[in-house]
Amino acid sequence: MQQMQNLPKMPMCAEQALVADNTTQEMTTYKSLGLFYVAANSLLLAGQLLNTVWSWEQFLLLQWCGFTGVFMIYRFNDIIDHSENFRFNLRRVLSSRIHVLCLIQFLFITTPAILFLLSDLRIVLLYSTCFLGLLYSVNVRIRSKNYRLKHLFLVKNLLIGTLWGSMILIGANALAGELVIALFVFTSVQVMTGSIIRDLPDTETDRKDGVRTLPVVLGIQGSILAIHLFNLVSLAAGWFLFPDSNFLVLMIVVVGWRAFTVLKLAHNPKAPLYSNTLNLLTCFLIFIILFIQHSNGLYPTH
């Protein structure tokens, strides 16, 4: 009986994994990625709506790349977050069967398909985004101190916004065109703003860990004001780059959606409905509005 009582209890959540080494058992809690998949693939689809050439093979491949990329990057980030001194633990990666299967299919199925079916521009953008997404979590130890891009003030938010905004460019297969660039900039600022919103519930934890997020530096209410400002900046930047009435409608709806969620967060910064669910669904909203407008011939393709 004494031995049975001393046995470790296994977690019930499917998003958790135990990885044993020679001396201890460490638990990694993985993020639920459902809404992240929706967000990434919504932006890829939004970009594809602006492409003059439609290919079902490329459509399906890009959607699969969205799923695979989100899974790999966020699992990589979670593993490092739960490692001692934020060190990358290859053994922990390979201890999970789903991680091994994902790596195998990426190397021997997805990568050859990317090289065969996609343009050089899309290949460069895809792999650059993936590389920077992984680099974002990497820890560099200098003089007994840990340095990570995600822990640098505002660098994390700017990087997240740019990387997610690049989904528009990948989908559109273009680095030019007024609407493409305007949508890329508008989306990047919106996603950057969303990443600040996701920092709000973790303010106390980040302060204890010495992570200088905007909520830690400005406080909750100061950050709320900054978020409203960034929301308006996204509208102004988008209008400056593409002063079109239809695009203005898209931006006003999205900015209004964002303003509503932020007003709710001002009263309860930890509310998951507004800090997580509705926040991540902003990307889906951008796609839906663009799809309706594009279906009615309101935008020319580049």
Q: How many helices (H) and strands (E) does the chain have?
A: 14, 4
Q: Is the pLDDT of residue 301 over 60?
A: no
Rounded distance, CA 95 to CA 26, Å? Answer: 12
Q: Is the pLDDT of residue 157 over 60?
A: yes
Q: How many CB atoms lie within 10 A of CB 121?
A: 14
Say what percent of the chain tops pLDDT 70: 85
3-state secondary structure 6-38: CCCCCCCCCCEEEEECCCCEEEEECCCCHHHHH
Name the pTM for this structure.
0.87
When pLDDT is cut at 50, 70 and 90, the band that residue 109 belongs to is: very high
Rounded distance, CA 215 to CA 200, Å? Answer: 6
- pLDDT tens sequence across 53-105: 888 999 999 999 999 999 999 998 888 776 655 565 667 777 788 989 999 99
- Single-letter amino acid code for the residue at 27: M
Q: Name the nearest CA neighbour of 214 among 178, 160, 281, 282.
A: 160
Report the largest interatomic distance among the alpha carbons of the chain, rounded to a whole angstrom. 74
Rounded distance, CA 209 to CA 203, Å? Answer: 10
Q: Is the pLDDT of residue 112 over 60?
A: yes
When pLDDT is cut at 50, 70 and 90, the band that residue 9 belongs to is: very low
Q: Token pair of 198, please?
A: 């996701």
CA 20 from centroid of its chain's CA atoms: 29
Q: Name the nearest CA neighbour of 275 among 197, 222, 216, 215.
A: 197
First to last CA, the chain: 72
pLDDT of residue 56: 92
- C-alpha separations of 288 from 16, 66, 134, 239 in Å: 33, 18, 29, 19
Q: Is the pLDDT of residue 12 over 60?
A: no
